[in-house]
């Protein structure tokens, strides 16, 4: 068991760190304040391969292990969790399209998405189907050589500003409206197809550098070859995507917590009270020690889950849920503690802490709430061999 990164992995992480400090750091606060979706900066990330990190090579991706992808996402999230989180969602959708699309669809969209020239959104959640994703109602009816899509999606990152939608819908050939997960299929839908409309841009607590909107589908027609995989495989594809997505969002929390820890350590050395740096107060030293310990534990949990997913382990989904639950909770706590160490300065926008806190809060909700993560973990732990498997 080797916890050390290779020289190649360290170099890749350093490239991501340098990129984030050059392209994100000078602008992240402005993007947040003005609600700017930085497509040009994302395209620059694409030039480095960061928009297709684990997408298959046949689609133009780098086909890297998920572990290596976490190194890139963590470094970028330490500077700008919001923009980085969108890039992780784009990576997930790009991987899904690159893995399950027909050759014609893959060959068209793959190179555009993996380079960041075009962007993708992931469309699973609906107004009445959040944690219970298998109850979604959007339908795709096969009519001749086309699918006709009707329904709506909610809380879609990038909606209205992206180019292709990886959509989960209930397809008639896969089952009726009562068939649950087995009746769901996946599709690649051009975001500007006739019949698609976008709701208002949601005003959010954080993640302000990426737009979030509802999407409505009114008799939207797409060619039949835009089906991803086979009829009825959509829910399985969605869940496979979410295993990686949960690692990605957990990594964004680890990165944001690292950024907060960096700021707290520097502030403790610079800030003086009662005639000496606050770093000399043992109570604050203990707080910093706890923050560092929680951060390291979260990072290793995420990397363990990524390694399990890379290895195709039987319990990879359980470990992904564990990593998502632990890292997003621990990361938020570390950021909150870093803000507290800054006192009143942590609460104002001159410092990055309040932005990191706002951006990280949603990580405990999306890609499956942390309550749902506990359900996934508990179900596995109630199996007879579970306590031995996790040793």
Do residues 323 and 251 lie in contact, with contact meaning Cβ atoms separated by under 8 Å?
no
Mode of pairing for the β-strands spanning 164-171 and 184-190 = antiparallel
168 φ/ψ angles, rounded to the nearest 5 degrees: -105, 125
Residue of 23, 75, 354, 367 with catalytic role: 367
Q: How far apart are CA 164 and CA 187, in angstroms?
A: 10
Active site residue 367: yes
Reported as type and span, the H/E element at residue 373 is helix 370-381
| Nearest-angstrom CA–CA distance, 228 and 250 | 27
Chain centroid to CA 333: 19
- Gap between the Cα atoms of 156 and 360, Å rounded: 17
Residues 6+ apart with CB under 8 A from 103: none
Cβ neighbours around 7 below 10 Å, total = 8
For residues 59 and 110, give the distance between their C-alpha atoms in angstroms, rounded to a whole number.
4
Q: Is the separation of the CB atoms in 13 and 64 below 8 Å?
A: no
In a 10 Å sphere around its CB, with 0-12 CB exposed, 13-18 middle and 19+ buried, how is residue 200 labelled?
exposed
What amino acid positions are annotated as catalytic residues? 367
């Amino acid at each position: 068991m080797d916890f050390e990164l290779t020289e190649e992995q360290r170099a890749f992480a350093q490239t991501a760190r340098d990129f984030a400090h050059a392209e994100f750091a000078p602008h992240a606060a402005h993007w947040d304040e003005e609600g700017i979706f930085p497509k040009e900066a994302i395209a620059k990330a694409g030039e480095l391969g960061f928009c297709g990190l684990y997408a298959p090579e046949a689609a133009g991706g780098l086909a890297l292990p998920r572990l290596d992808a976490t190194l890139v996402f963590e470094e970028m999230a330490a500077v700008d969790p919001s923009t980085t989180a969108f890039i992780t969602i784009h990576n997930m959708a790009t991987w899904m399209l690159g893995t399950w699309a027909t050759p014609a669809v893959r060959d068209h969209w793959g190179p555009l998405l993996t380079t960041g020239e075009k962007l993708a959104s992931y469309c699973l959640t609906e107004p009445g189907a959040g944690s219970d994703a298998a109850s979604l109602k959007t339908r795709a009816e096969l009519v001749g050589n086309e699918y006709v899509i009707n329904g709506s999606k909610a809380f879609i990152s990038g909606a209205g500003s992206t180019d292709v939608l990886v959509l989960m819908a209930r397809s008639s050939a896969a089952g009726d409206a009562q068939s649950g997960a087995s009746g769901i299929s996946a599709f690649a839908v051009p975001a500007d197809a006739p019949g698609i409309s976008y709701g208002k841009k949601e005003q959010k607590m954080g993640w302000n550098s990426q737009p979030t909107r509802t999407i409505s589908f009114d008799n939207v027609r797409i060619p039949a070859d835009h089906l991803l995989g086979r009829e009825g495989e959509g829910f399985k594809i969605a869940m496979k995507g979410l295993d990686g997505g949960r690692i990605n969002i957990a990594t964004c929390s680890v990165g944001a917590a690292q950024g907060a820890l960096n700021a707290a350590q520097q502030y403790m050395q610079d800030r003086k009270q009662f005639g000496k740096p606050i770093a000399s107060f043992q109570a604050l030293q203990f707080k910093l020690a706890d923050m560092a310990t929680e951060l390291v534990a979260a990072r290793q949990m995420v990397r363990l889950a990524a390694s399990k997913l890379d290895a195709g382990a039987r319990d990879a989904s359980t470990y992904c849920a564990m990593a998502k639950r632990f890292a997003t909770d621990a990361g938020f706590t570390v950021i909150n503690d870093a803000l507290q160490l800054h006192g009143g300065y942590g609460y104002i926008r001159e410092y990055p802490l309040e932005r990191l806190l706002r951006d990280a809060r949603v990580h405990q909700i999306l890609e499956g709430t942390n309550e749902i993560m506990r359900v996934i973990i508990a179900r596995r732990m109630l199996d007879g061999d579970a306590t031995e498997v996790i040793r």
